[in-house]
Structure 1
Amino acid sequence: MIDPEAERKEILRHYRRILKYAKPFLKGNDAKLIKKAFNTSVEAHKDMRRKSGEPYILHPLAVAQIVVEEIGLGPTGIVAALLHDVVEDTEMEISDIEREFGPKVAKIVEGLTKISGVFDYGTSQQAENFRKMLLTLSDDVRVILIKIADRLHNMRTLDSMPRDKQLKIASETMYLYAPLAHRLGLYAIKSELEDLYLKYTDTETYKDISNKIRQTRSSRTKFIRDFTLPIEEELHKHGFDFEIKGRPKSIYSILKKIKKQNITFDEIYDLFAIRIILNVPHENEKAACWQVYSIVTDHYQPNPDRLRDWVSTPKANGYESLHTTVMSKTGQWVEVQIRSKRMDEIAEKGYAAHWKYKAGGPSTSESALEQWINKVREMLETNDSNALEFMDEFRKNLFVEEVFVFTPKGDLIILPDKSTTLDFAFEIHTQIGLQCLGAKVNQKLVPLSYRLKNGDQVEILTSMKQKPADEWLNFVSTSKARAKIKDFLRDEKKIRAEEGHILVESQLAKLGIESNHHNLNRLLIHFNVHSLPELYYRAATDKLDLNEIKEDIFDPQSEASKAVSNKLEPKQFELEVQKARGLNTDMLVIGENTSRFDYKIATCCNPIPGDDVFGFQTEEEGIIIHRTSCPVAIELLANHGNRIVKTKWTDQQELAFLAGIRIKGSDRVGLVNDVTRIISNSLKVNMRSITIDSEDGFFEGNIMVFVNDTAHLDKLIQRLSKVNGVLLVERFD
């Protein structure tokens, strides 16, 4: 039963909370404008409800709350957040918003309207929307910040969505929004988006890790108290104005570490970080951070390999901090982050916090961020590939760590990680890139494909005779270099295709065959080439023998002509029908009358009954079944939403699936015997392979077994972990 009075109170409570957070920076008639935006939004959404049943107005209110409290935007951002769905859901036009709230708000709302909605269409449609979103980044970065806030609230309330929508929205978030939040320096939001992604795609693991974090909370708090006590006393002695916080790692980053380093939860040494935040004037920040570093390392032994200095050279997203990992008195490693109040605000609120510090003259971190946004603009302007390629390029280039290298004169050039000397050449100047022969790195000659390392000094060698070749595309990782090489190769190909066109025409003329659409099509099929320009290009570069163009290809009665006709496959018709009909929307049940579907189990993640799965429609191999937590799943679900098939397992037991088990422990005589006996005798499991390596009394083994489902596998893992000497048993992909 809906209680209108209770709902009205709830709405007002949210509204007042926004005003409370906004109060410190309201000027003039800002408060009036926010009130007007609130009333407009309430009126516009008055009869609408969300999937969860609550009034729709709570969504724009929640987005505005995130914008002001967690991102730190001002009145313009709050007003735009309150109105972000108004144009889309009502008769109101952008011109009305401009009249009522001014051009700035109108421009932001227009940007948000362009990129609204969950993209349910085909692949490129979705990527096209991402691209539109990035175009708005060059107009006003607040569009993206509000869009991220909108996505964060959708992720927080994903429970009320159907399962397939949950998977799709979560994967899209992980594919684009989490890296984007990271790139704009919104560290806290990025971590929460990653954790929420995990919560919906791999619920078991999420619950498991969050329970473990909860169980260790009280001991952690005591540990942090004991650890920070001597540091606090020392800092007070030196007259520092400071604050110390303990911060547990996010669930997602813990899981990433467990997977990457192949360790257990208990082995993660920096489960939490201690953050020391100093209140010092801008000009004293660097010296103060190093002074505190010296105090910390007087009390605790640092790990020399784990010092990170982002105070001298900030990250490209503006992040500044000094990190060190030290050994506590109890024998645990602890990460200590030292930073000023300004740096902390930039680390937490990212881009928005830069504005606040802009008045004090541009800082290096800001210029790095400005540079990044300029790079986005440049990518958008030079990019004419299709939207999916563009997304891929964008993620590759703008969501990676950087490598810092120097020109011969000592100027610093920042490139994406894994960049090569060829990327460096194009970064300096397009012409230098196109004529690049090789390079000298730290005075030594290296090839074009040499991967740059931090601190390399690079001198490019050029030659007027040099020009790009196809394999250059394998040597570059920046989109700028890739775009320029592709442009050159395209122009080159065009010129060669013109030459080939003349050659093909003259060969046809020699045979007295008319160069019409029908005849040229037969040539394409005969040579198995997809387009005329490609045919002409091959003719010009001798990849295709012109003497093969004979009369009998065009004579309907000849063998060659019949072979061409047969190549117009009957399968094509079926494919077209399937495309027109759209995907089969029924649930695919694996293991039960699935003969009408052509399906395969993905080898990247080897799903077994009991795993959360989805089907992915491919053109060549039918439907492929992946686990929702599979690394490949993020991209498939985010980019190809229209090809996803809802999938579940049947209850039939007789199917056997391959799963991998990793086992570690202390070696002893007869151990392998015990392990294999449990596998084959007690649980009637068939083993496909077993490899065990033993060194210095410690063994590690991988066993591939056939099981019926996850329950069967869990039982096997439980029994194996009870074997004397076994320390760890886990499933691996």
Structure 2
Amino acid sequence: MPTPCSIDGLIRKASLYLNDECVSRIKAAFEFGAQAHQGQTRKAGGDYIWHPVAVAEILAEMQLDQESIIAAILHDVVEDTPYTKEDIIERFGENVAEIVDGVTKLGKLAFENPQEAQAENFRKMILAMARDIRVILIKLADRLHNMRTLGVMRPDKQRRIAHETLDIYAPIAARLGINAIRIELEDLGFKAMHPLRFAVLESAVKKARGNRKEVIEQITETLENRLKQEKIPARVVGREKHLYSLYKKMKNKRQSFSEILDIFAFRIIVNTADECYRTLGAVHSLYKPLPYRFKDYIAIPKSNGYQSLHTALFGPYGVHLEVQIRTETMQEVSEHGIAAHWQYKDGRQNGEHALSAVEVRAQEWVKNLLEIQQSAGNSLDFLENVKIDLFPDVIYVFTPKGDIITLPKGATPVDFAYAVHTNIGHATVACRIDKQLVPLRTPLESGKTIHIIKGKEAQPNPAWLNFVTTAKARSQIRHFLKNQTAGAANSLGKKLLTKALRTYNMAYDGLTELIRLEIADALKLQNWDDLLAEIGLGNRMAGLVAKQIHDLLLGADDAVPSKPVSADAPLAISGTEGMVIHFANCCHPIPGDSIVGFISTEKGLVIHRNECHNVKKIKNQPEKMLDVNWEKEQHATYLAEIQLEVKNQRGALATIANEIAKNKTDIERVRSEDKDKTYSVMNFVIAVHDRTHLAQIMRVLKRVPIVEKIQRV
């Protein structure tokens, strides 16, 4: 059971850097919090107030400002006691109240499952972060104390909380550069998720530590002496990888414990950036560097503000050394990340301060999260997108103007385009990397210059979702396609309803705005557009809706046109309706074919050729059948499948593909198999404008000497 913290410990730590007035406000916050939580206890034992005090003490150790400390003490008051946000505003000001409100969960709202509740609370926290980044600092400290006292929970609950910690909170701490909290969260999460593995690894590290001690001391002394010779004041510390880091490395690289422990790690702390580079030269003259293992995070900091020089060396006794070189300021940022820039400074009042480079990056990240939140379909989608975005490994690429763009490892030109601007992403058609044209799915590498080629009529391709890696790219593509689908569904729904209304001698244009609102309300929909979209997506049958409208308006003169209209005219298909009209893959209809439509609740309107064998099956559902034809003006391309019998000879497939390409026709798919020793059967799915265009291509292919037979499938 954890030892209860005391207010004395918090006051002692706060007094080291805060003035008497600030400390008095912290004491007042404690008294108010203790009164609010009176009678409440924790599962870990003791009065509940000791949990928020422990959270505040974690923040005091990082020397955060007084508002952060006070908000930490009060962070559960609004959620768990009768006091309200207004009570906190009255006593401690609006800033503190806003932070507390940001940390507070949504409360007792009804959710379908715990995952949805977690996701919605996470969304609320991100929105609060956008207003004040200190919300997440308190939330991380809150999670850290909960992880420290996790042992009193049931094993299944321990694993659930630990999984959430490793999945969300530790990566957020990493993203904001707060490594001190990240490391402890990861080790505590690892211990709760895999207690046996943790115990075995902890025991092995303790055993190995004694054997390595002499080597570490000798290398440390050698490095210190070399730096004294160069007159560089520095401190050298041997560092040890934390247990979760060791476990991940063993698991990902499939290395044994002894292989990983062969690497000795050191950190050298100096005074200035200039001394960092001089130190690098000194250690390289002492031990030979390993090729391709040097990284300069001082010139190009990580996205969370981390700065350091990293190098790997051939050390004595055949061991490998990993050395990090940084200044004291860089060390502080490495440990506390953005929290280092909320630390109390003389002259700073109420947390006001000029934005640092780290804070600017953090705010850019939060702004990016807000864009993802706005385009996400629901809270669960948003949470999954954020998980995708919490990448530990990053690359650095350049725009043509020389600006640096940070992306996760494995990112593609499409991810780059969306990182620059959403509109650039939407308009992307091609990409040049260092002036070389490359496919859009090409993984990017650090140091490359990326040039995106845009098209005026371009729009996102659904296939991009198969290879993009960033949450922003994924969410913006989905958002665009969803909106495109909604617009297309609305347009198709209007066409279908117009046709269905003719059966009742009614005209679509005869429905006034007032009548449409009444109909939508009667059908329990928010507005008329929702009704049209429902029809277009196949979720409601146009014929049934037309009958409902007729019954509702029976006797209403303004709903009946002055002259009869024909109900026989088929629906005209242009091929540009978007994603709610699908052309069946079984028969590949193209303009000129006799066609029929089928309303599907999954795909909207599906178009088949009349002679398709699947049409016989769906004719059993006449209420879902629809007469359709082609509009006279066609500008789209359609897929058609042709089958060829070709003589077996070397290069036969290339010969046919080349002939198709000469006709400026794209090949979507190709399949080839041997019919016998003499002939092969090849199936090509190609893009054509209509039956005339297809006939021209088939005539050209028929004249190829190796083609014995050709037919449309």
The TM-score normalised by the length of structure 1 is 0.66
Q: Which residue of 1 aligns with 2:184?
A: 192
1:351–1:172 Cα change, 3 Å: same
Residue 455 of structure 1, aligned match among 432, 447, 451: 447
Q: Which residue of 1 aligns with 2:317?
A: 330
By relative contact order (CA 8 Å, sep 6+), the higher-ranking structure is: 1
Q: Which residue of 2 aligns with 1:374?
A: 367
**Other structure's SS at 1:452 match:** coil
1:328–1:432 Cα change, 3 Å: closer
In 2, Cα distance between the equivalents of 1:157 and 1:266? 32
Q: Which residue of 2 aligns with 1:292?
A: 279
C-alpha contact (below 8 Å) 1:25/1:74 kept by paired residues: no
In 2, Cα distance between the equivalents of 1:313 and 1:123? 38
Matched, 1:75 2:57: no
1:272–1:367 Cα change, 3 Å: farther
Q: CA deviation at 1:563?
A: 7.8
Q: CA deviation at 1:353?
A: 0.8
In 1, Cα distance between the equivalents of 2:311 and 2:138? 34
Q: Which residue of 1 aligns with 2:82?
A: 91
**Other structure's SS at 2:321 match:** strand
Q: Which residue of 2 aligns with 1:308?
A: 295
Matched, 1:317 2:304: yes
Q: Equivalences for 1:343-492 in 2 at 5 Å? A: 343-356=330-343, 364-380=357-373, 382-492=374-484
In 1, Cα distance between the equivalents of 2:220 and 2:70? 42
Residue 100 of structure 2, aligned match among 102, 109, 123: 109
Residue 145 of structure 2, aligned match among 138, 142, 153: 153
1:560–1:373 Cα change, 3 Å: closer
Q: Which residue of 1 aligns with 2:33?
A: 41
1:361–1:86 Cα change, 3 Å: closer
Matched, 1:496 2:488: yes
Matched, 1:63 2:67: no
Question: Is the deviation greater in 290-299 or in 348-357?
Answer: 348-357
1:494–1:102 Cα change, 3 Å: closer
Q: CA deviation at 1:395?
A: 1.6
**Other structure's SS at 1:315 match:** coil
1:430–1:77 Cα change, 3 Å: closer
Matched, 1:32 2:47: no
Residues 158-184 of structure 1: per-residue CA shift (max 9 Å, x gap): 110112211111111111111011111
C-alpha contact (below 8 Å) 1:504/1:546 kept by paired residues: no
Q: Equivalences for 1:224-235 in 2 at 5 Å? A: 224-235=216-227
Matched, 1:140 2:132: yes
In 2, Cα distance between the equivalents of 1:237 and 1:338? 17
C-alpha contact (below 8 Å) 1:448/1:475 kept by paired residues: no
In 1, Cα distance between the equivalents of 2:313 and 2:411? 32
In 2, Cα distance between the equivalents of 1:562 and 1:61? 70
**Other structure's SS at 1:276 match:** strand
Q: CA deviation at 1:356?
A: 5.0
Q: Equivalences for 1:167-316 in 2 at 5 Å? A: 167-269=159-261, 272-278=264-270, 280=271, 285-316=272-303
In 2, Cα distance between the equivalents of 1:53 and 1:155? 15
Which sections of structure 2, spanning at least 5 residues, go unmatched? 509-518, 524-532, 543-570, 572-576, 590-594, 601-616, 624-713
In 1, Cα distance between the equivalents of 2:493 and 2:97? 52
**Other structure's SS at 1:324 match:** strand
In 1, Cα distance between the equivalents of 2:43 and 2:117? 25
C-alpha contact (below 8 Å) 2:412/2:443 kept by paired residues: yes
Q: CA deviation at 1:376?
A: 2.7
The one-letter amino acid paired with 1:395 is: K
In 1, Cα distance between the equivalents of 2:316 and 2:278? 22
Which sections of structure 1, spanning at least 5 residues, go unmatched? 518-523, 551-558, 566-733
User: How many residue pairs are counted as aligned between the two chains?
Assistant: 537
**Other structure's SS at 1:54 match:** coil
C-alpha contact (below 8 Å) 2:426/2:460 kept by paired residues: yes
**Other structure's SS at 1:351 match:** helix
Q: CA deviation at 1:116?
A: 7.5
1:167–1:139 Cα change, 3 Å: same
Matched, 1:130 2:122: yes
Q: Equivalences for 1:664-675 in 2 at 5 Å? A: none
- Structure label with greater radius of gyration: 2
C-alpha contact (below 8 Å) 1:115/1:130 kept by paired residues: no
The one-letter amino acid paired with 1:481 is: A
In 2, Cα distance between the equivalents of 1:413 and 1:466? 23
**Other structure's SS at 1:465 match:** coil
**Other structure's SS at 2:19 match:** coil
Q: CA deviation at 1:405?
A: 1.5
C-alpha contact (below 8 Å) 2:263/2:319 kept by paired residues: no
Q: CA deviation at 1:429?
A: 3.6
1:261–1:399 Cα change, 3 Å: closer
In 2, Cα distance between the equivalents of 1:144 and 1:388? 19
Q: Which residue of 1 aligns with 2:636?
A: none
